[in-house]
Structure 1
Amino acid sequence: MISEQISVAVPGNVDLPGDLDMPPSPRGMVLFVHGSGSSRHSPRNRAVAAELQRHGWGTLLIDLLSEDEEKTDAATGQHRFDIALLSERTATAIEWLSKYPVTHGVPVHLFGASTGAAAALVAAAQAGPVVSVVSRGGRPDLAGDALKQVEVPVLLLVGGRDPQVLELNQEAAQLLPADHQLQVIPGATHLFEEPGALEQVAAAAREWFLNTAEAHAEGHHLP
C-alpha cells in the first residue's frame, strides 16, 4: 500500500491537503467529497475508505477548504453550502488524479456525504471522467439542474430514520437520467452512528463501485 500526504492546487492560490492510499493494481480510485463542517479527517469517511482499501481500492480524502476558509466557515457558515465552489474543487481534484503519476489512468469514482454529495454530482455532470457516484446521507437536491446532466450510475444511501433527507433523495432520484438506486439503511439516522450502520454503507458502496467498474470496463449499463 502506497500512502502519501499530497496537496492539490486550486484557483485562488489555495492548496488543499489530502491523504492518498493506493494498493498494488487498484480496482479503481475513490475520491471522497466531505460535507458541511467536515474534513478529510471525518471518522465515518475514513472507516469507509479503510474498508475499500482492504478490498483493493485506492482512496483520496481531501479537504475542500483551506485552514483560513475553515475558520471563516466555522464562524459564518459561508462556504459549506457553496456547492459551486465545492464542486469546482472536486473537479480540480479529479483532474489532479488523472495527471498524478501514481493514479494516472486509474478510473475515478466519487463518494459524497451530506452537501459533499451535491458537489460530487455536479462535478460528475460537468467535469468527468467519473465512473460512478455514491452518496451517503447526501443532499443531492442541492445539485439543482446538474442532476439532469449526470450520466454515470448513482447510488443514494439514506438512513431509515432520516425522513427529511430520505424525502429529498427520493425527489432527486426522479431527476437522475442514468442508472441509479436509492437504498435505505434500516434504523440508521443521518450520521449512521448506530451499530452496524456504517458497515452496511461501506458494503453497499463497495458493491456499487465494483459493479459499475465492471460494467464500465465492458461498456455496459448496470443490470
Structure 2
Amino acid sequence: MKTIEIPVIGPTLKGNLSIPNEPKALVLFSHGSGSSRFSKRNNMVAEILNEHSMATLLTDLLSPEEDKIYENRFNIELLTERLVSITNYVEQLPELKNLPIAYFGASTGAASALKAAAHLQKKIHALVSRGGRPDLVYSDLKFVKAPTLLIVGSLDGVVVELNKQAFKFLKCEKNIEIINGATHLFEEPGKLQQVAEIATKWFEKYIINPKIHQNALQQ
C-alpha cells in the first residue's frame, strides 16, 4: 500500500492505493460521513478485494479543513464532484491505466458513488453499496448504468426500506442482499466478512467476466 496525492479543484486529497500483482480491476471507495481512508471496515473489505486481484483506492473526499465543517460531510454534490475528479485522475496513472473501474460506497458515501456513476455512465463497470443512503439521490438512480448491488443489514431499520425503494428506481442490472442479523455498521461477528465476500463475487462477475459486463451495460 502507498499513499498518493490527488489534485482536485481546491485542495489536494490523499488516498491509500493498493495494487496486487497483475490487477484485473480498480475499486474506488466512497466513505460515509465522519469516516476516512483509514476506516477499518472499508480497509478490511479492500484487503479481500486485493486478494482477488483487484486494486483498491481508499481516499478522503474532503481535506482535513473541509471535514471540520459538519455540513460538508453531507454535501452530496461536492462529494460527487470529488469522486468524479478522483476517478478521472487515477485512470490516467500509468499503473492503473486501462483497468476497469468500480465503486464501493458506504452509508452516505454510497449516495455520492451512485450519483457519480450516474454521471460517468459506462465508465463505471460495477457498484456495491454497503448500508447505503440511496434516498439522498433517488432522482439520479435511473441514470446509473453500472450493475449495482445494494447490501443492507436486516436490523438496519429504515435503511432497509430506503434501499428497497431505491431498488425499484434502478434501471440497470441490480440486486439487493439483506444480511440477516446485521445492523448498520455490520459489527456483528462474521457479518462484514459476508459483505466482503458478496461484494467480491459481484465485482468478479461484472468486471472480470467481459461477456457478462457488456450484456449488463447494454441495458
- Please, what TM-score do these two structures have when normalized by structure 2? 0.95
SS of the equivalent of 2:6 reads strand
Determine if contact 2:25/2:208 at 8 Å carries over to the other structure.
no
SS of the equivalent of 1:30 reads strand
Question: Are 1:84 and 2:77 an aligned pair?
Answer: yes
Please give the alpha-carbon distance, in whole angstroms, between the structure 2 residues aligned to 1:191 and 1:138: 10
What does 1:160-199 correspond to in 2, within 5 Å?
160-199=154-193
Aligned to 2:134: 140
Amino acid paired to 2:200: R
Q: Which of 104, 112, 121 is 2:105 aligned to? A: 112
Please give the alpha-carbon distance, in whole angstroms, between the structure 2 residues aligned to 1:10 and 1:115: 21
Question: Are 1:220 and 2:215 an aligned pair?
Answer: yes
Shift of 1:4: 1.9
Determine if contact 1:131/1:216 at 8 Å carries over to the other structure.
no
Please give the alpha-carbon distance, in whole angstroms, between the structure 1 residues aligned to 2:103 and 2:49: 12
What does 1:24-173 correspond to in 2, within 5 Å?
24-72=21-69, 77-128=70-121, 129-173=123-167
Please give the alpha-carbon distance, in whole angstroms, between the structure 2 residues aligned to 1:50 and 1:24: 13
SS of the equivalent of 1:52 reads helix
- Structure 1: where are the runs of 5+ without partners? none
Aligned pairs, how many? 215
Determine if contact 1:110/1:134 at 8 Å carries over to the other structure.
yes
Shift of 1:214: 3.7
Amino acid paired to 1:172: A
Please give the alpha-carbon distance, in whole angstroms, between the structure 1 residues aligned to 2:216 and 2:144: 14
Q: Using a 3 Å threshold, how does the CA distance of structure 1 residues 177 and 215 change in structure 2: closer, same or farther?
A: farther
Aligned to 1:5: 3
Please give the alpha-carbon distance, in whole angstroms, between the structure 1 residues aligned to 2:117 and 2:9: 19
- Structure 2: where are the runs of 5+ without partners? none
